[in-house]
């Protein structure tokens, strides 16, 4: 097993944060904690289902990152990009409020790129 890079550790930590965040937001929509349903522009039920699916997929990506699966980078990048798009949909405008969720998603996208580049360099140097 290869040594983990700093990028890999950060991907693991931030993916775990996203899995927990989406689980909490999903539960908040289910029970309308803090009257969260009134803060979104679309039907909360669609966001609840989407949030549950995203939480499970982030958990799967977390498992794959631990196992060193290369495809986990593509899953994390896809989930992070969909998270950014989801913020635009939930807020219902292009002039959205920048949230911690968007900052973490952007960090995940950058880290996926850097880790993928790092893995490619490692692969080339071993050839």
pLDDT digits (tens, 9 = 90+) for 51-110: 999 999 999 999 999 999 999 999 999 999 999 998 888 887 777 778 899 999 999 999
Give the number of domains in the chain. 1
For residue 117, being part of any structural domain is answered with yes
- Rounded average pLDDT over 30-35: 94
pLDDT for the residue 126: 67
pLDDT for the residue 121: 84
Closest CA to 25 of 37, 43, 14: 37
For residue 79, being part of any structural domain is answered with yes
Give residue 41's pLDDT band: very low, low, confident or very high (50, 70, 90): confident
Tell me the residue range of the domain where 26 lies: 6-126
For residue 1, being part of any structural domain is answered with no
| Model-wide pTM > 0.75 | yes
Say yes or no to pLDDT of 127 above 70: no
Closest CA to 61 of 70, 51, 52: 70
For residue 82, being part of any structural domain is answered with yes
Say yes or no to pLDDT of 1 above 60: no
Measured CA to CA, the distance from residue 68 to residue 83 in angstroms comes to 23
The percentage of residues in the chain with a pLDDT greater than 90, rounded to a whole number, is: 72
């Amino acid at each position: 097993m290869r040594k983990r890079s700093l990028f890999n550790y950060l991907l693991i930590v931030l993916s775990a944060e996203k899995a927990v965040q989406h689980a909490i937001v999903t539960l908040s929509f289910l029970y309308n904690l803090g009257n969260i349903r009134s803060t979104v522009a679309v039907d909360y039920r669609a966001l609840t289902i989407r949030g549950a699916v995203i939480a499970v997929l982030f958990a799967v990506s977390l498992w794959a990152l631990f196992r060193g699966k290369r495809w986990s980078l593509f899953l994390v990048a896809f989930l992070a990009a969909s998270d950014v798009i989801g913020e635009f949909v939930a807020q219902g405008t292009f002039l959205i409020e920048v949230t911690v969720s968007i900052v973490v998603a952007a960090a995940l996208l950058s880290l996926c790129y850097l880790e993928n580049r790092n893995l490619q360099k490692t692969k080339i140097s071993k050839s």
